[in-house]
Amino acid sequence: MSHYTTIHLHNVPAGREAEYATWFDGPHRATLANLKVYKAAERYEVTPQQIMPDIPQPWRYISVYEFESLSPAVDVPALGPLIADARKSGLIADDETERLYSYRMFADWKNSPNRQMSEPLSGISIILANYVPGRKDEYETWYENIHSVEVINVPGHVAMKRGELSKIQIDPSHYCPGDQFVLCAQQTEDLLFTLKDFSARARGASPSGVAMLPRSAAASTARTVHYFKKISGTTFWNKGIAYAGDLSVYPGQS
């Protein structure tokens, strides 16, 4: 059985944010629970704090869907009509920004000692990444053995999982700028501190004395990074019954 993640990057028409949240946490979750393969669904909102502030942030919201499948050709597209319900109801802004990308994940979360398993995540970051053509193995070795460990040990960063763009996508499909996907989890009350220390470690200037190794030449600079704060709790499904997790959002993440 393979693990998949679908991300829904989108905006919501002004004044309909609460209506979208009600749809997501109500009828949408109920329908997802009946699909069996889905493990979790969460919503996040973009943060003003970003590690690469010059990169455009066209999406205010991201929904992250996680599922396990023996038949991805069937299970991946099944999410499409459910999201289309919100689109047809006018809950998704018709501003040409909406994107749906599905990924086959290499593994589940790689956790660092920073992670408090009894506590919810405060947010996530995503990277739509690429490797230099012909250097995929080198890129994967560097990311798995070196860079992932460096990143999840930055205070506030607690876990990471990675994947690659699935051959099966959900309509309406769009070109994806990165076929490598990095999903990083945070637990922090001070995201700005986390980003500053991340940057300082990359430059070898962190007060902690920890310095990251040079970035691999196999990693393309053609990438975008996006940080989001959590705005809904995790809902896990078991035998078609939805169990909502802690709905709290960490303070200091405005």
What was the pLDDT predicted at 133? 97
Residue 249 lies in a domain: no
Q: Tell me which residues of the chain have a pLDDT lower than 70.
A: 233-254
Residue 54 lies in a domain: yes
Question: Whole domain around residue 233: which residue ranges?
Answer: 2-244
Residue 253 lies in a domain: no
Residue 165 lies in a domain: yes
- Render 152-213 in DSSP notation, one character per residue: HTSTTEEEEEEEEE-S--PSSP---S-SEEEEEEE--S-HHHHHHHHHHHHHT--TT---PP
Judge contact between 39 and 236, C-beta under 8 A.
yes
CA distance 182 to 252: 24
What was the pLDDT predicted at 248? 31
Residue 158 lies in a domain: yes
User: Over the stretch 139-171, which tens digit does the pLDDT of each residue have?
Assistant: 999 999 999 999 999 999 999 999 999 999 999
What was the pLDDT predicted at 239? 36
Judge contact between 86 and 28, C-beta under 8 A.
yes
Count of the separate structural domains present in the chain: 1
Q: Is the peptide bond prior to 172 cis by the omega test (within 30 degrees of 0)?
A: yes
CATH of the domain at 186: 3.30.70.100
User: Over the stretch 167-208, which tens digit does the pLDDT of each residue have?
Assistant: 999 999 999 999 999 999 999 999 999 999 999 999 999 999
Residue 173 lies in a domain: yes
What was the pLDDT predicted at 35? 87
CA distance 45 to 32: 21
Residue 167 lies in a domain: yes
* Residue 6 bridge partners (DSSP): 65, 102
* Residue 64 bridge partners (DSSP): 7, 42
Residue 117 lies in a domain: yes
